[in-house]
Amino acid sequence: MFYHENKLQYDVEVEDPNPVFAKMLQQAIGGVEGEMRVAMQYLFQAWALPPEHEKYRRMLLNTGAEELGHIEMLATAVAKNLEGAPLELKGEMTQAVGAGTMNGIQPRQVLSSGLHAMAVDSDGVPFNGNYVVASGNLAADMTANVMAESTGRLLATRLWEMTDDPGMKDMLSYLIARDTMHQNQWLTVLQDLGETDDPFEVFPIPDSFPDAEENEEFNYAFMTTDVDGGSDSDAPWTQGTSMDGEGRFSHVRQRDLAGGDPDIGAPDPRTHDDPTPRGED
């Protein structure tokens, strides 16, 4: 159950409306790095958790709802940046069809939404639910969440660099700050899932898979596919104790381990894969 209060999570002001920036802001709404992605991701992760993970479920629901508020902020910012936007194509159309595209504005922000935000990215591509990671494994999902917040923060910093509008910089500085918190939040959950202060204790994921069933000859071996086989032979990921503390890194050459030639059966005649002409053997 969700309840809505008719107030923004954080004030959104635009001193100098810029329709091109409105187009760029769409990436932070419906793009792969955007707020729709993390909002849906955290909510679906929460809905998959059993009762014994209630504290994580509540935390994910809180943060997912917060991200819905970020979408509302960005949608407001898009609308404010589109105020007074040009609605004519006449000048551009006399040169070439679609050239100029209304001074950089995203056409569908006029044609489909009447100068408002949409559930699309900066290229007008609709939000894709396949962006959402909700595996049902809490540790795996936390790892995905760190990546999502990292790329989201990177996007926000790039948007911050693109604008000189004080209101937009202020809004983005807030979103950047929240991404900082969320990255640390998910890393803390990874740490909390283990028995020590080491967040890597929950790796590899899933750690519940029986060690005896894993091919232990290769589970900590860095595989060199270079022709000379010499790259990274003294790197930290090819020697010493592994990050999970359960093994030691090693360095092997793929060419020394090569298996036999591919050995597959003859094509099934029903697939018509055989290039041999009819009547020939």
Which tens digit of pLDDT belongs to each residue from 218-260? 888 888 887 775 667 788 888 999 888 888 999 888 878 877 8
pLDDT of residue 49: 96
What does DSSP assign to residue 103? G
What does DSSP assign to residue 164? -
pLDDT of residue 194: 83
Shortest CA distance to 159 belongs to which of 26, 6, 7? 26
Is residue 89 packed enough to be buried (19+ CB in 10 Å), middle (13-18) or exposed (0-12)? Answer: middle
* Contact criterion met (CB below 8 Å) for 39 and 135: no
Q: Both tokens of residue 32?
A: 């792969």
pLDDT of residue 169: 96
pTM exceeds cut of 0.95: no
pLDDT of residue 167: 97
Residues present in the chain in total: 281
Q: Which pLDDT tens digit goes with each residue over 79-100?
A: 999 998 877 654 544 444 344 4
Report the alpha-carbon distance of residue 74 to residue 9 in Å, rounded: 11
Q: Which residues contact 104 (CB under 8 A, 6 or more apart)?
A: 19, 20, 23
Report the alpha-carbon distance of residue 113 to residue 104 in Å, rounded: 16
Q: Which pLDDT tens digit goes with each residue over 135-192?
A: 999 999 999 999 999 999 999 999 999 999 999 999 999 999 999 999 999 999 999 9
Q: Both tokens of residue 150?
A: 């990292």
Is residue 165 packed enough to be buried (19+ CB in 10 Å), middle (13-18) or exposed (0-12)? Answer: buried
What b-and-e string marks burial along 36-56, b requiring 16 or more CB atoms within 10 Å of the CB? bbbbbbbbbbbebbeeeeeeb
Q: Both tokens of residue 180?
A: 């900082």
Q: Which pLDDT tens digit goes with each residue over 95-129?
A: 443 444 456 778 888 888 889 999 999 999 999 99
pLDDT of residue 53: 95
pLDDT of residue 280: 55
* Contact criterion met (CB below 8 Å) for 205 and 137: yes
Shortest CA distance to 125 belongs to which of 108, 111, 113, 104? 108
